Amino acid sequence: MVNYSLGVCQLLVNTIDALLMAVFQGIIEWLPISSEGQLSLLFVNFYGMNENEAITLALLLHIGTMISVLWFFRSDFREMSNLNAKITEVTLIATLGTGITAVPIVLIFKNYWDQWTNILQIQTDILFTVIIGIFLVLTGLILKNQPEQGTRELESVTRKEALILGMIQGFAALPGISRSGVTITVLLVIGLTQRDALRTSFIISVPAVLGATVLEFILSGFSIQPNALIVGTIIFPHLLLSFTIFLTAIIGIITMQSLLKLKNLPYDKFCIVFGVGTILLAILLFIIQVVT
């Protein structure tokens, strides 16, 4: 990022940043290591953004991988034009459940984050890094106890189960909680086959990403200028933003195809290793700040 001054300190996204963002998001979105958390850490610790700006930019990049899902499961989304289809019912109810838990979490974080960090007298980047690390380890422990796949199909999911699924998905609004990790675990717990668990988890992510992006824009404040989209203090030129989203979508499709062919990946170990590494990063940052 380079500084771009329009009366206040703002951040202008450049081409190298955009390429790195697209590759990073397109690959890690499908791993249960919280792509939002990892991107936010990158933006906070390497680009010097504040935590709210980092989350806003991370959500923008999710639009690209959302397009990947829309393309990969396009037949399922065509089926959703039938309001009586089971996938439509499950998605709508899960989206309602996501809103019930995610909206309060986002509002609390936005309104009280700075206040909490001032009370604790801890550097915000260090506290943010520690929290993401802890949530990653917790997600890994959840995945470690993930049950074997069941025999139920999507058609058997009840409205109550869909609502609970959505409410649990809403907790992924916390950076560090893997949306795919917790939703797939819930679907396997209620007995779905691995295929239907993966399919359902990906599909219900689309309205969740759309809703989170809209809410983030409203809370952060945004304006559409002739040459760029401005969200908070982040300036993203229109052409570069379009290119980044397109590239993220392409990389996301390729990565998704590859991962769906693989079986028995140690996702729990991914989370725990990334979580421990993140906490160690926070300790290192603290030592550096003390020494300097």
Mean pLDDT, the chain, whole residue set: 80
Better pLDDT: 207 or 235: 207
Residues 127-158: tens digit of each pLDDT: 777 777 787 787 777 767 666 667 788 889 99
| Residue 181 pLDDT > 90 | no
Does residue 120 carry a pLDDT above 70?
Answer: no
Rounded Cα gap, residues 276 and 259, in angstroms: 24
The 10s digit of each residue's pLDDT in 75-104 is 888 888 888 889 999 999 999 999 999 999
Q: Of residues 288 and 202, which shows the higher confidence score?
A: 202
pLDDT recorded at residue 118: 66
Tell me the β-bridge partners of 102.
Answer: none
Which tens digits make up the pLDDT trace of 11-39?
677 888 888 889 888 888 877 667 777 78
Contact 184, 32 (CB under 8 A): yes
Least confident of 51-55, 105-109, 117-121, 140-144: 117-121
Mean pLDDT, residues 187-197 taken together: 85
Q: What is the pLDDT of residue 264?
A: 60
Percent of the residues in the chain that have a pLDDT greater than 90, as a whole number: 21
Q: In whole angstroms, what is the distance from residue 260 CA to residue 107 CA?
A: 35
The Cα-based distances of 135 to 61, 95, 117, 128 in angstroms read 21, 22, 18, 11
Are residues 164 and 189 in contact, defined by beta-carbon separation less than 8 angstroms? no
Strand order in the sheet with 9-12: 2-5, 9-12, 234-237, 228-231, 222-224
Q: Is the pLDDT higher at 85 or at 220?
A: 85
- pLDDT digits 0-9 by tens, 249-261: 999 999 888 776 7
Query: Residue 244 pLDDT > 50, yes or no?
Result: yes
CA pair distance 113, 109, nearest whole angstrom: 5
Instruction: Confirm if 205 and 66 have CB atoms less than 8 A apart.
Output: yes
Task: Determine the Cα–Cα distance for residues 228 and 241; give it in Å rounded to an integer.
Answer: 8
pLDDT in the model for residue 39: 80
The more confidently predicted of residues 126 and 18 is 18
What 8-state DSSP symbol labels residue 29? T
Residue 119 clears pLDDT 80, i.e. is over it: no
CB 231 within 8 A of CB 81: no
**The tokens of 76 are what?**
């399922």
